[in-house]
Amino acid sequence: MKKLYRGKILNPISASECEFFADGGILVDENGRIESYGKFEKLNKGEDIEVQDFSEDLIIPAFSDVHTHLPQYDVRGKFSGNDLLPWLRNYIWPEEIKFASSDYAKKVARRFFDDLIQHGTLTAGIFGTIHVNAAREMFNECNIRAIIGKAMMDQNSPAELTENTQDSLEGVDDLCEEFGQKHAITPRFAMTCSNELMCGGAALANKYGAIIQTHLSENYEVIDMTSKLFPNAENYTDIYLKAGLLGPKTIVAHAIHCSDEEFDVLKKTGTKIAHCPTSNIALNSGRMPVEKVFNKGIEFALATDVGAGPKTSMLDVMRGFLEAHAGIDACEYVVNEVSALYYATLAGAKILGFGAETGNFKEGKSADFLVLKTNFKSAKPKEIIHNLCYDIDYSSVVQKTVFRGEVIYEG
């Protein structure tokens, strides 16, 4: 039987447009797809329809988190005042070493995905550790729409997290064979990757048509060290360009301190950016010039970057997005409540290659959405989204998470 979900509906269309239906409905067919959506009274016709009435509640598309680290789940937010490198040394490497145990990886993965579903994230780009078996456990536990990548690291890392270059490439090759395009090529960042490893990664991405995910220009200290490691490169971005890692299926996280020339290369190659405002604030990394990225026409979407980002909730990232760029005149038309919802949903789904399947409400798309318990009275998307970011408890607002038309979580 078809199901008609009734509620107040927000539907992000673009960075500047969001539909709102005060008494709306999402009609879901027997296959979990959206047959139609809009005003409730227009949809409530026909006999084989079961109405699910949430007319007092808000219904929005599920979130996309385009850059997060599953292995850092248990150490998220457990730091203060550390910049990137000491934070990696003190908190992250010791935790990632534990993922040599598949059993440990499995247990963390289970809790991680439960948490994402509770917070309404159903699409994600996920980093693993260097461990092939840990990546397998992550895939086995994954019950959302995600790409997952075994991290590649063959230099400047602790001994337990330093791979032999060839072994690393073979491990990635095996995972691509096994999981197809769901496995992302994941050279962690230039500092921890030899040129040979990055070039090998690019070749594997070509072979399998895989997404590539990495970090770029996050922190001045790292930029400095990286330029010494790769003296033949013009700049940080050029290292990846020369290795063949940039292109329309590549997602670089951060891109905070890129020069105009570097942004031009990202644009020209079609490379996408994962913008992680809460992480950037937590690690004192700086502000990504979102106005520049927007004006150059580089595609970006929001991400938690757990565990530097302290929370798994994309509502927290939307709040961080509004705050990180507040008071900067050039940002006013790029950064606002309506764009925040778009960058936390449809923009992310597009970047991860799932834009035709999910990310907002459209006939034929998968019914992936959230019923949120709120008591907001406004009929203006901007005000409702503002309330979502500031006036609710992120951990209890999700009343139902619906994935492919099935309720998979009830709060």
Indicate left, alpha or beta for 405 from its phi (over 0: left) and psi (-120 to 50: alpha).
left
Identity (one letter) of the amino acid at 169? L
Least Å distance, CB 132 to Zn ion, is: 20
Least Å distance, CB 215 to Zn ion, is: 6
Least Å distance, CB 253 to Zn ion, is: 5
Least Å distance, CB 42 to Zn ion, is: 44
Cβ distance to Zn ion smaller for residue 344 or 370: 344
Cβ distance to Zn ion smaller for residue 218 or 368: 218
Cα gap 226→44, rounded to integer Å? 60
- Terminal C-alpha separation, the chain: 24
Cβ distance to Zn ion smaller for residue 15 or 135: 135
Least Å distance, CB 303 to Zn ion, is: 8
Least Å distance, CB 62 to Zn ion, is: 22
Cα gap 179→148, rounded to integer Å? 9
Least Å distance, CB 304 to Zn ion, is: 9
Cβ distance to Zn ion smaller for residue 34 or 116: 116
Cβ distance to Zn ion smaller for residue 59 or 147: 147
Cβ distance to Zn ion smaller for residue 66 or 322: 66
Element (H, E) at 356: none
Residue partners of 343: CB distance under 8 A and separation at least 6: 15, 275, 300, 301, 302, 318, 321
What's phi and psi for 294, nearest 5 deg? -65, -50
Element (H, E) at 400: strand 398-403
Q: Output the six-digit token pair for 91.
A: 């908190």
Cα gap 92→398, rounded to integer Å? 29
- Compute how many other C-beta atoms are within 10 angstroms of the C-beta atom of residue 409: 18
Cβ distance to Zn ion smaller for residue 32 or 77: 77
CA 370 to chain centre: 17
Q: Kindly list the residues in this chain that would bind Zn ion in the complex (CB under 5 A).
A: 253, 305
Element (H, E) at 154: none
Q: Which of 315, 408, 402, 392 is nearest to 358 (CA)?
A: 402
Nearest residue (beta carbon) to Zn ion = 305
